[in-house]
A and B are shown apart, each in its own frame.
Chain A
Amino acid sequence: MIFKEYAMKNFLLVTTAVLFLSACGSSVKLDEVKVEDKTVTTPIVAAPETLPTPTPAPAALVAPVNTGSVSVRPVESVTADSPNSLSALGPQTTVPAISEPTAVQLPEAKVVTPEIQDAKQAAPEIVLPEPSATAPIVYFDYDSFEVRPEFQALIEVHATKINANKTTRVMIEGHTDERGGREYNLALGQKRAESVRQVLKLLGVVDSQMEAVSFGKEKPVSTGTSEDSMAKNRRAVINYR
């Protein structure tokens, strides 16, 4: 069989190659131990509150950092032996959670064809969650950042609200479902946020009152894998900050 021949040939060739290599290696008399003496140090975790004392060792340290609200403060060192690092951490400041979209009763989206299609083929017939009267959420089709007509009225409501008060600032936050790469989805979420921003702009909202950012796929509201569930994540949220 060809496979066996190849295998045998290769085995012989590898053996020959190893022989060549070993011929190039140094031959040492048994009682003269030729060893390379090396000092190695693992990159270590720096002590939490005090800076590590300078040593001649290669300074490949890892100092743990806990994000406070904005400022950064080292915490007690967490070693690999304590995987439940939550208990080992020092006083933990809670980062204010990003306000999730207002919990509303969304009508169940009917899934017509759950097949996942490539972008160029016909878009799957998935019914998006309907625009809510209260929640400032615009939903999007898969791979799309186009604001569908049924969401126009909702955006108008918020344009009016923002225009009514010059001190109001909104963050338009774009999101994607979990499919695909994180950075590309960050960019896609950005497109969604900017699409909504553009609609607001056409309705008279000034740039200084709004900022479009993206969370990509990092902040899903729904963790299921059904098309219905994923449709809830493809959204842009108008967040009053």
Chain B
Amino acid sequence: MYKLLSTFLAKFSFALQNWLFVSITLFAISAHAQFRVEVSGVGLTQLPIAVASFKGDDVSPQKISSIVISDLERSGLFRSIDVGGVVQDELSRPDMSSWRKKNVDAFLTGSISRLADGRYDVRCRLWDTVRGRDLGGQSHAVVVADLRLAAHRIADFVYEKLTGERSIFSTRIAYVTKSGGQSNLWVADADGENAQSALVSGEPIISPSWSPNGTQLAYVSFESRKPVVYVHDVATGKRRLIANFKGSNSAPSWSPDGKTLALTLSRDGGSQIYAVDATGGEPRRLAQSNSIDTEATFTSDGKSIYFVSDRGGSPQIYRMPASGGTAERVTFTGTYNISPRLSPDGRWLAFISRVNGAFKLHVMELETQQVTAITDTTADENPGFAPNSRLIIYATVHQGKEALMTTTLDGSFKTRLAGQNGDIREPDWGSFLK
């Protein structure tokens, strides 16, 4: 049943593209300066949901209902209906017919109250207003620092109940900011908020890459005046220098079992792809060419690696077995295709293609090899998939400023993420926390 709705929604979004009359509208929706860029018309494929102000929201350090609304809308699958300031807790049954009249299919209520030990008790209940049914609820007892996480968990609960798919709102992202001469590697919530610094450096940091278990970040640092690769334990701050060979060391990418890192090393002349144990050691060369080979990325079954090579004269994306071997070309349109990333469900390839000088995010459906450009911006970089394969995060320049964006796979719904000050780039989306 659940699968039905999700595949239906996926297919429908794509079909609807052919009939969309495209216009772009900008909304400022919260004080956090997060705004959404919506392609109008797609609203009719979204599930209309109303989220009441939670009882106690007005005096809570975090407005839980706002965070839930932002999360659900960012997924592109929900359209939040204005409740006109209605406050309702999880104990009372709503007036189903009045919500049905507003064309609302689901209604979320809740409350936040202070416990004797100083923590906050955050509760919710979800209603199916069409059938008049209680779909259940949640309660979270949290310290103030975890209020946003409680809201994300509630948004996950709503998303999973109504779509049957795994939700990503309480996952984490990493990204880099650069301000003045200083670079900062941040770990943040999936909405870009609540960022905590994992690394500060006077030299650039690029290519952060989450380990599959979400505890480590691999990245490239220029702090020793050449690019080297670290594996960094985020909780303890301890890090290992995993690649400091002669020449440049870069493009770390984890195998799905977390045991191996693919890397680009120039130690033998030219940028070439190697595999190294995540604990360190001697690298094994995976491919051999007289050209640039770089940006290796594993498929989620761990069996293949996609990578960039200009062995054909200009950068294109290829696929080879994860242990190395014969490479097959994957991209055939245009003369510059880089930054391949695969969706965890194995169905999609995101990449950046240069078209008439502009660098644009494209998505390929691997089964059909159909390719679609999904952005209007011209300086897109570094795409990555949400762990449920439903959203892509990427860096771009939006209205003259560096920004991180998320988009649905068909490009129909985009949001700019909140983030720390400075030029913001190099996002990587972590996996589901185990």
Which of B264-272, B275-283, B323-331, B407-415 contacts the other chain? B264-272
CB-based nearest B residue for A70:
B224
Nearest A residue (CB) for B251: A183
List residues of chain A with CB within 8 A of the CB of B143. Answer: 41
Indicate if B136 sits at the interface (CB-CB under 8 A).
yes
**Is the Cβ of B19 less than 8 Å from the Cβ of A21?**
no
Q: Is the CB of B130 within 8 A of A15?
A: yes
Are A181 and B381 CB-contacts (below 8 A) given A10-B44, A18-B47, A62-B235?
yes
Which residues 163-195 of A have a CB within 8 angstroms of B? 171, 179-184, 186-188, 190-191, 194
Per the bound structure, the CA–CA distance linking A10 and B171 in Å amounts to: 30
A33–B356 contact, CB under 8 A? no
CB-contacts of B274-329 with A (<8 A): 292, 294-295, 308, 313-315
Shortest C-beta distance, A52 to chain B (Å), equals 8
B-side contacts of A37, CB under 8 Å = 138-139
Among B1-55, those with CB < 8 Å from A are 1-2, 4-5, 8-9, 12, 16, 19, 21, 41, 44-45, 47
Contacting residues of chain A (4-40) with chain B, CB-CB under 8 angstroms: 6-7, 10-11, 13-15, 17-28, 30, 33-40
- Are the C-beta atoms of A42 and B148 separated by less than 8 Å? yes
Task: Provide the residues of chain A in CB contact with B80, threshold 8 Å.
Answer: none
Contacting pair B145 A67 (CB below 8 A): no
Contact B130 A98 (CB under 8 A): no
Residue with the highest number of chain A CB atoms closer than 10 Å, among B142, B271, B420, B433: B271
- Residues of the B chain whose Cβ atoms lie less than 8 Å from the Cβ of A36: 136-139, 157
Q: Is B335 on the interface with A (CB-CB < 8 A)?
A: yes
What residues of chain B lie closer than 8 Å to A184, measured between beta carbons? 292, 294-295, 308, 315, 338-339
Contacts of A116 in B (CB 8 A): 356-357
Task: Choose one: B44, B133, B239, B335; the contact of A72 (CB below 8 Å).
Answer: B239
Query: How far does the alpha carbon of A215 sit from the alpha carbon of B224 in the complex, in Å?
Result: 12
Residue ID in chain B nearest A180 by CB atoms: B359
CA distance A17 to B165 in the complex (A): 14
CA gap between A85 and B128 in the complex, in Å: 45
Q: Once the chains bind, are A219 and B204 in contact (CB under 8 Å)?
A: yes
Given A21-B164, A181-B339, A218-B204, residue A190 in contact with residue B198 (CB < 8 A): no
Q: Known contacts A83-B421, A95-B203; is A61 also within 8 Å of B236 by CB?
A: yes
A25 touches which of B41, B93, B136, B142 (Cβ 8 Å): B136
- List of B residues within 8 angstroms of A2 by Cβ: 19
A33 CA / B139 CA spacing, docked (Å): 10
Are A67 and B136 in touch, CB under 8 angstroms?
no
CA A115 – CA B357 in complex, angstroms? Answer: 9
Instruction: Let me know if A45 and B196 touch, CB within 8 A.
Output: yes
| Residues B294 and A187 in contact, CB atoms below 8 Å apart | yes
Distance between Cα atoms of A92 and B130 in the complex (Å): 60
Chain A residues with Cβ below 8 Å from B138 are 35-38
Chain B residues with Cβ below 8 Å from A65 are 198-200, 232, 237, 239
User: Does A78 count as interface, using CB distance less than 8 angstroms?
Assistant: yes
Q: Given A59-B235, A98-B203, A184-B292, are A22 and B182 neighbors across the interface (CB < 8 Å)?
A: no
Which of B133, B161, B359 is packed against the most chain A CB atoms within 10 Å? B133
Q: Which of B64-72, B187-195, B367-375, B385-393 contacts A (4 or more CB under 8 A)?
A: B187-195
A64-B239 Cα distance, complex, nearest whole Å? 11
CB neighbours (8 Å) of A46 from chain B are 235-237
Please tell me if the beta carbons of B198 and A186 are within 8 angstroms of each other in the complex: no
Q: What distance in Å separates the Cβ of A62 from its nearest Cβ neighbour in chain B? A: 4
Residues of B within 8 A of A28 (CB): 134, 136
Q: Are B128 and A25 interface neighbours, CB within 8 A?
A: yes
- Please name all residues of chain A whose beta carbon is closer than 8 Å to the beta carbon of B314 when the two chains form the complex: 119-120, 143
Per-residue B-contact encoding for A76-110, CB less than 8 Å = 1, 0 else: 00111001111001000011111000000000000
Task: Determine if B271 and A187 form an interchain contact, defined as CB atoms under 8 angstroms apart.
Answer: yes
Cβ–Cβ < 8 Å partners of A182 in chain B:
206-207, 381-382, 425-426
The answer to the question of A126 belonging to the interface, with a C-beta cut-off of 8 Å to chain B, is no
CA of A48 to CA of B415 in the docked complex: distance in angstroms? 34
CB 8 Å contact bits of A45-70 with B (1 = contact, 0 = none): 11000011000001111111111001
A contact residues around B354 at 8 Å (CB):
118, 180
Q: What 17 new A-B contacts, CB under 8 Å, besides A33-B125, A179-B359, A184-B292?
A: A2-B19, A23-B131, A36-B157, A39-B140, A39-B141, A43-B196, A44-B196, A51-B236, A60-B433, A62-B197, A74-B237, A78-B197, A80-B195, A80-B196, A95-B202, A183-B295, A186-B227
Query: What are 21 A-B contacts defined by CB distance under 8 Å?
Result: A10-B44, A15-B105, A28-B134, A36-B137, A40-B150, A45-B197, A62-B234, A64-B237, A67-B200, A67-B201, A120-B313, A171-B225, A180-B359, A181-B352, A181-B381, A182-B382, A184-B294, A184-B295, A213-B227, A215-B204, A215-B222
Q: List 9 A-B pairs, minimum CB-CB distance, nearest first.
A: A63-B237, A116-B357, A61-B235, A22-B128, A95-B202, A187-B271, A218-B204, A62-B196, A213-B226
